[in-house]
């Protein structure tokens, strides 16, 4: 592990030296051939970014689930979007993504009460074989896919001795209030006035709050209660 951290330190120092020679250089990943395991989509796809007070931009896009940044492809290289907070909406394939805090959320249900999903990942260092064809894993550095430099992030490919574990965090947007939840109990706490009715609906319809299709139906029902 120390050897690998030392390698990353050397890599960052090398990049800083290069930037000293070319300060206007943008931060990019080396090529399309690099593994895209840290990205939401298996390949960069044609997407559209709608910026605040700026005309929409059509470009090859993806989303880095480790750094939680929009990344665009240009000339076979990958670049972080310099100011993600200026994004109004990003359209990538069939997903609609909107910014919140330092990351983006996929908009699933848009209504008075909206349902959204946050995609984020962490790295696991591949361990030694544990027998019976299994391999043990240990937690690793969360942001190894990007190196933080004074002017932005440099995207790097994930070494073979690491694997990505992606998770989904569900969000509710009610007016200006944003709430994250991971289970039914946390969801019901967001709506104490409807808690009893929602609990009954969940039971009668066998709703699983970690299943996206079920949450879509539940949020639609919740909006009907609000009207």
One pLDDT digit (tens) per residue for the chain, 227 residues? 444 444 444 444 443 433 344 333 333 333 344 467 889 999 999 999 999 888 899 999 999 998 899 998 888 778 888 788 889 999 999 999 999 999 999 999 999 999 999 999 887 776 644 444 444 444 444 444 554 544 444 455 666 667 788 899 999 999 999 999 999 999 999 999 999 999 999 999 999 999 999 999 999 999 999 88
In this prediction the pTM is 0.74
157 lies in the same domain as 186: no
49 lies in the same domain as 71: yes
196 domain-assigned: yes
21 domain-assigned: no
13 domain-assigned: no
Q: Which domain holds residue 126?
A: 27-107+119-175
88 lies in the same domain as 187: no
Burial of 51 (0-12, 13-18, 19+ CB in 10 A): middle
135 lies in the same domain as 208: no
Closest residue by Cα to residue 71 from 12, 153, 167, 158: 153
169 lies in the same domain as 206: no
54 lies in the same domain as 136: yes
17 domain-assigned: no
User: End of a domain among 175, 192, 213?
Assistant: 175
Distance CA 169, CA 183 (A): 10
**What pLDDT does residue 157 have?**
65
How many domains, the chain? 2
Closest residue by Cα to residue 220 from 94, 112, 105, 98: 112
**What pLDDT does residue 108 have?**
98
38 lies in the same domain as 149: yes
Burial of 199 (0-12, 13-18, 19+ CB in 10 A): middle
Q: Could you give the angle at the alpha carbon of 34 between the alpha carbons of 148 and 11, nearest 5°?
A: 35
DSSP H or E segment with residue 79: strand 77-80
């Amino acid at each position: 592990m120390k050897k690998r951290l030392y390698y990353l330190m050397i890599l960052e120092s090398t990049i800083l030296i290069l930037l000293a020679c070319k300060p206007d250089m943008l931060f990019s990943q080396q090529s399309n051939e690099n593994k895209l395991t840290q990205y939401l989509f298996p390949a960069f796809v044609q997407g559209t970014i709608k910026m605040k007070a700026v005309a929409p931009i059509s470009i090859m896009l993806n989303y880095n689930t480790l750094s939680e940044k929009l990344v665009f492809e240009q000339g076979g290289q990958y670049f972080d979007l310099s100011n993600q907070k200026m994004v109004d909406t990003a359209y990538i394939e069939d997903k609609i993504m909107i910014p919140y805090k330092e990351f983006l959320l996929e908009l699933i249900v848009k209504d008075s009460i909206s349902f959204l999903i946050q995609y984020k990942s962490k790295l696991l260092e591949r361990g030694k074989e544990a027998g019976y064809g299994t391999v043990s894993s240990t937690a690793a550095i969360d942001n190894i896919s990007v190196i933080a430099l004074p002017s932005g992030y440099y995207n790097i490919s994930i070494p073979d001795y690491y694997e990505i574990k992606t998770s989904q965090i569900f969000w509710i947007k009610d007016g200006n209030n944003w709430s994250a939840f991971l289970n039914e109990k946390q969801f019901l706490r967001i709506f104490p006035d409807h808690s009893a009715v929602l609990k009954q609906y969940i039971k009668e319809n066998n709703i699983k709050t970690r299943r996206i299709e079920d949450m879509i139906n539940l949020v639609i029902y919740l909006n009907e209660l609000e009207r």
